[in-house]
Amino acid sequence: MTKIWTALLMLLAGMFTAPLFAADGEAAFHQRLNDMNVKSYHQSLGATGRDTSCQLCHGTKTPVSAPDDRTCLNCHGSRDQVAALTLPDPKDKNAEPNPHDSMHYGKDAPCTMCHNEHRPSEIYCNSCHLFKYPNMKP
């Protein structure tokens, strides 16, 4: 029992000693936290766009920049596994190339090149090509 209380106290202490950010102060920072949206497909994680859910992707409660691919891969598996989800059908002559294993970047393209979280996702390839990828969730 005491262990639980100690953990709770430490959690609370952590909340109140969270670093202040920039010039806009802590209240404004927390307002910004609450204003972040996450994708509908990630809401089931309890990632409702509030408080600690930020940690799921950013590895910190108070993120300031885009997350590292490693946090995506913690849940989505290896780059090989991600690439295997979108293998083009070899029998379909019009199949679009695998976005997760392309001739230019192999399997190494950063996830956030295409999958944004707080704004619409975009297919980076289409800055040069005209692929459709109808299953890409916006």
Residues at the site binding ligand HEC, with contacts judged by CB under 6 A: 33, 36, 38, 41-42, 45, 47, 49-50, 53-54, 56-58, 63-67, 69, 71-76, 79, 82, 85-86, 97, 99-100, 102-105, 109, 111-119, 123-125, 127-129, 133, 135-137
Closest CB to ligand HEC among residues 11, 80: 80
Inter-residue contact 58 to 67 (CB < 8 Å): yes
Inter-residue contact 129 to 122 (CB < 8 Å): no
Closest CB to ligand HEC among residues 3, 132: 132
Q: How far is the CB of 83 from ligand HEC (least distance, A)?
A: 8
Q: Residue 106's beta-bridge partner residues?
A: 102
Q: How far is the CB of 106 from ligand HEC (least distance, A)?
A: 10
- Pinpoint the alpha helices (H) of the chain: 2-16, 25-35, 40-43, 54-58, 69-76, 79-85
Closest CB to ligand HEC among residues 26, 76: 76
d(CA 29, CA 20): 8
